[in-house]
Amino acid sequence: MDVKRKLILYISMSLDGYIADCNDDLHFLSVVEQDGEDYGYSEFINSVDTVIIGRKTFDKVKSMGFEYPHTDKEVYIISRSKQSMEGSFQYYNGNLSDLVTRLKTKSGKNIYCDGGAEIANYLLSNYLVDEMIISIIPVLLGDGIRLFKERNDTANLTLLSSKQFPKGLVQLHYSS
């Protein structure tokens, strides 16, 4: 029997709930950098074949001088305005719920939501997030881009695991 593909939000946030600081900066992530420790990222990335990413997050990766890495996957850059292709990646400016619902009916590996907060909140409020893997970085930013923006009264989260690491990162894995 086919196992239904899941959409998984895999993201890092500060202890006080921000995914970027007030300057749209990600330097706070460096406090947990450690040689030989990827916090389960390689294993996770091998379990997905499709990526949903917000246009601002995609632009942020480019602005940092990196090529967006997942060239072996089906990548949708979600935008209300841009369309066409960027290399092997596709801008998608249709209805995001329709896209995710359609992807979930296809067979394949799981679907990775790479953020940012706008995309994550849209998917959460439309009950399209099946699991969340949240890495909590032990810093307090005080301000920035908040991960969870909307109250979700029907969220029914089950804790699948919690892991702690020597640098103080705590990783929480929930199903919803």
- Contact residues toward ligand NAP (CB under 6 A) are 11-12, 19-20, 24, 26, 54-57, 60, 78-82, 96, 114-119, 122, 145
Could you tell me the smallest distance in angstroms from the CB atom of residue 157 to ligand NAP?
A: 19
Could you tell me the smallest distance in angstroms from the CB atom of residue 43 to ligand NAP?
A: 17
Query: Which residue, 112 or 122, has its beta carbon nearer to ligand NAP?
Result: 122
Task: Give the three-class secondary structure for 50.
Answer: strand
**Nearest residue to ligand NAP, using CB?**
116
Query: Which residue, 114 or 131, has its beta carbon nearer to ligand NAP?
Result: 114
Query: Which residue, 5 or 51, has its beta carbon nearer to ligand NAP?
Result: 51
Inter-residue contact 114 to 8 (CB < 8 Å): no
The span from the CA of 76 to the CA of 61, in Å, is 15
Q: How many CB atoms lie within 10 A of CB 125?
A: 16
Query: Which residue, 6 or 82, has its beta carbon nearer to ligand NAP?
Result: 82
Dihedrals phi, psi of 157, to nearest 5 degrees: -90, 135
Distances (CA, A) of 98 to 73, 124, 126, 145, 147: 20, 14, 11, 26, 23
Could you tell me the smallest distance in angstroms from the CB atom of residue 42 to ligand NAP?
A: 16
Could you tell me the smallest distance in angstroms from the CB atom of residue 4 to ligand NAP?
A: 23
On the question of a cis peptide bond just before residue 40, with omega within 30 degrees of 0, the verdict is: no
